[in-house]
Amino acid sequence: MRAIRRGESGPAVAEIRSILVELELLAPESAPVVSAPAAGPFAGSSPSAASSPAATSAASPSAASSPPASSSLAAPSSAAPSASAAGLSAASPASSSLAAPFSAAPSSSAAGPAASLDVFDEATERAVRAFQQSRGIGVDGIVGAETWQALDGARWKLGARTLFHSIPSALVGEDVHALQERLLEMGFDSGRADGIYGARTARAVAQFQREVGLTPDGSCGPQTLNALRRLGRKVVGGRPQWLREAEAFRQSGPNLIGKTIVIDPGHGGGDDLGVVVPDGPLRWTEADLVYDVATRLEGRLAAAGMRVHLTRGPSPAQPMTGAQRAELANGLGADLLISLHLDENRNPDAQGVATYHYGTGNGLTSTVGERLANLVQREIVVRTGMENCRIHAKTWELLRLTRMPAVRVDLGYLTSPTDRDRLVNPMFREQIVEAILAAVQRMYYPVENDVPTGSIDVRQLRMAIAARRG
């Protein structure tokens, strides 16, 4: 897989620039003219898991082809109803992937007067960074698989195509996200507004169609869009999906016994070792260190009565993408997911712990996920004394595609001599494990019964569990 970055040129860069102009992130006078953008530079890619928040996260490119340019809600065409198969194939060529190979190097020359503008210059990099920041993607100014997927999806406006549940490649885009938000506002449970038209979204659309007297086919065409526009918001006082999530969590009770948690040690498999730092005759790798923390945490949580699953073993044959890890956690019906990573930076003075939860730049966030991130972050900082790099909202696949509260914890910078000296110490890793265990226990306490950070004695917690079982 090859990412596109500053200094490169060619048709792929021209298409990226044209999208940024559509999104008003790049000045139109400097953008090349791209004809029929039906092919993208990232089809057939095989993304891997992200190595750090600053690095591009993994994502599978969407199967949707490039839409016609539109800058506002497009009026739906009345030529075909939403259930028309012919209309679907014409309006939404979801089965056609972005055709140009992801690994193909951009051409160094392009025909026509726009050739000199098909360059990934400083302005383009700034626009890419602004886009990444607005979408909750790792901000690095590089167009990798995840950034391309987000760019491609951002061009679709609600009403520009008919939406339906496509198998195996679901429709992805800003129009799907807008539809999900609209359904949630009206009280229909489409799940998390993740921009993916899956089975749950199709069921919510079908339920809406039944209520307004339309054929409940689960697809969103002109008639369904017209009905959506005519009706007003039903749910007030908060985002319905997060209210449901918080209430379900509250009703599950304060005990850890019987609850399921997935621990995801980042990276691993093949050559995916994450951050690698030589240290004299030794070599420290992110994959090995976070796996050690994961196995220690597995034992502690199991002793507390939880059902614990790891997403990988010590030496998997192949690396897993964020989407694959999310699918595993969803299939297990997990109540929580905690992903463990280490970070890196060119500056050896960069150090500290940071925790990430699902959320976007416009304020959309997982309420329960944000609370878990806060608890994990505060417990680790108080118990270990590490630098507090705070919590942040991101839309990485692992956080976006999971159906349970999920967080990613970057446990320090392996490139920092200070953090590295701590992380290679098994006793320090035990402190991290105790902090995460305390945070998980506090998650299940009612908010009014919460305790001060660092006050839970995990040894007494284990003794209480053992006494209860006896």
- Domains in the chain (CATH in brackets) are 11-230 (1.10.101.10), 248-469 (3.40.630.40)
CA nearest 220: which of 206, 235, 234, 233? 206
- The Cα 333–Cα 330 span in angstroms is 5
CB atoms within 10 A of CB 172: 26
Angle at 4 between CA 266 and CA 140, to 5 degrees: 55
Paired tokens of 230: 């005519």
CA nearest 341: which of 272, 444, 403? 272
Residues of the chain with pLDDT under 50: 1, 33-40, 42-115, 237
- The Cα 265–Cα 173 span in angstroms is 29
H or E element in which residue 16 lies = helix 11-22
Contacts for 250 with CB less than 8 Å, ≥ 6 apart: 446
**Under 8 Å between Cβ of 205 and 228:** no
Alpha helix segments (H runs only) across 167-321: 174-185, 199-212, 222-230, 240-251, 286-303
The pTM for the full model equals 0.68
- Residue position matching structure tokens 């050690």: 292
Alpha helix segments (H runs only) across 352-470: 367-384, 397-400, 417-423, 426-443, 458-469
> Which residue(s) pair with 285 in the sheet?
276
Pairing of strands 353-358, 406-413: antiparallel
Angle at 225 between CA 171 and CA 64, to 5 degrees: 15
Q: What sign has the CA pseudo-torsion 274, 275, 278, 281?
A: negative
CB atoms within 10 A of CB 260: 16
The CA-based diameter of the chain, rounded to the nearest angstrom, is: 80
* Residue 445 confidence (pLDDT): 80
- Residue position matching structure tokens 């006793």: 427
Amino acid of residue 347: N
H or E element in which residue 135 lies = helix 122-135
Give residue 405's Cα distance to chain centre: 12
| DSSP class of 43 | B
CA nearest 373: which of 344, 400, 387, 393? 393
**DSSP 3-state assignment of 196?**
strand
Angle at which helix 367-384 crosses helix 426-443, to 10 degrees, equals 140
Buried b (16+ CB within 10 A) or exposed e, 46-59: ebbbbbbbebbbbb
How far from 207 is each of 170, 175, 203, 220, CA to CA, in Å?
20, 19, 6, 12
CA nearest 339: which of 358, 359, 352? 358
- The Cα 402–Cα 338 span in angstroms is 11
- The Cα 162–Cα 181 span in angstroms is 17
The DSSP-derived string for 304-365 is TT-EEEES--SS-SS---HHHHHHHHHHTT-SEEEEEEEE--SSTT---EEEEEEB-TTS-B
- The Cα 11–Cα 120 span in angstroms is 11
**Under 8 Å between Cβ of 268 and 339:** no
Q: Indicate the Cα dihedral angle 384, 389, 392, 398, nearest 10°.
A: -60
CA nearest 410: which of 47, 50, 3? 50
- Residue position matching structure tokens 């599950």: 252
* Residue 124 confidence (pLDDT): 92
